[in-house]
């Protein structure tokens, strides 16, 4: 499903070079809920952004469904990105649009018919349990509700993969659990492969079947969650 092969990412500025990822390789299989855990600055957010090439690797290759997307032209990459939904810590909702219009936004970009776009948005509102908030604006929502809208929007184009970059970091423990349960349900019912970037072991324990531990730009351990948890707690 996702294969990252010898990926290195170097940021350069006036102060010099910063190594964010150092020859990183990992594989995520179809149907996984795959966690990437590490401390702030370890490189985990850079890693997830290299999966959809929001950050282009300095070296190395990224494959989605056996196709090397690091070698694709822009027009090809746009199509691949439609199969990769993404949600963020700060929700990234359009504040001037109401809930249903936020969900419809990626469908509008994809050129989907207005009637079909509204139908799809309503289906997703039902999925995330926010039917009654369809005409509310982001400023009127709680943090958990905003993230549910963001999840619905990320699912608009029926992606194969959902990338979650610290998606629960801004939420309280009870809301975090409800969002994780929603993601698990999406994984099980819709077959969406999920990659979760987090610094919280509780998130990994709750939802991930596999995990990679990243430290100082390197993956130091990866495998099934039950086998990795002991190692991380000792670090």
pLDDT single digits (tens) 135-166 = 999 999 999 999 999 999 999 999 999 999 99
Beta pairing, strands 2-13 & 59-64: antiparallel
Non-local (6+) Cβ contacts of 214 within 8 A are 24, 36, 37, 38, 42, 43, 44, 47, 220
- Per-residue confidence (pLDDT) for residue 230, from 0 to 100: 67
Arithmetic mean of pLDDT over the chain:
92
Angle of helix 143-154 relative to helix 114-127, nearest 10 degrees? 130
If pLDDT is split at 50, 70 and 90, which confidence band does 216 have?
Answer: very high
pLDDT greater than 70 at residue 214: yes
pTM (2 d.p.): 0.92
Q: What is the DSSP code (8-state) at residue 133?
A: G
- Is residue 51 a contact partner of residue 195, using CB atoms and an 8 Å limit? yes
- Per-residue confidence (pLDDT) for residue 55, from 0 to 100: 93
pLDDT single digits (tens) 32-76 = 999 999 988 899 999 999 999 999 999 999 999 999 999 998 888
Report d(CA 232, CA 235) in Å as an integer. 5
pLDDT greater than 60 at residue 235: no
pLDDT greater than 90 at residue 2: yes
- Is residue 85 a contact partner of residue 154, using CB atoms and an 8 Å limit? yes
């Amino acid at each position: 499903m996702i294969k990252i092969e010898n990926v290195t990412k170097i940021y350069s500025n006036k102060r010099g070079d910063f190594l964010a990822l150092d020859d990183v390789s990992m594989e995520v299989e179809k149907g996984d809920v795959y966690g990437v855990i590490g401390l702030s600055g370890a490189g985990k957010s850079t890693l997830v952004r290299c999966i959809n090439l929001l950050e282009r690797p300095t070296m190395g290759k990224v494959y989605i469904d056996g196709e090397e997307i690091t070698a694709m032209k822009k027009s090809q990459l746009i199509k691949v990105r439609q199969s990769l939904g993404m949600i963020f810590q700060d929700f990234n909702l359009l504040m001037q649009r109401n809930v249903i219009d936020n969900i419809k936004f990626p469908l509008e970009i994809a050129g989907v018919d207005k009637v079909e776009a509204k139908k799809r948005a309503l289906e997703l509102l039902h999925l995330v349990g926010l039917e009654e908030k369809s005409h509310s604006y982001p400023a009127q929502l709680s943090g958990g509700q905003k993230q549910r809208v963001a999840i619905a929007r990320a699912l608009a184009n029926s992606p194969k993969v959902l990338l979650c970059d610290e998606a629960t970091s801004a939420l309280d423990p009870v809301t975090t659990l409800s969002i994780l349960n929603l993601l698990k349900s999406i994984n099980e019912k819709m077959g969406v492969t999920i990659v979760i970037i987090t610094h919280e072991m509780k998130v990994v324990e709750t939802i991930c079947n596999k995990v990679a531990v990243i430290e100082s730009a390197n993956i130091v351990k990866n495998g099934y969650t039950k086998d990795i948890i002991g190692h991380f707690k000792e670090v």
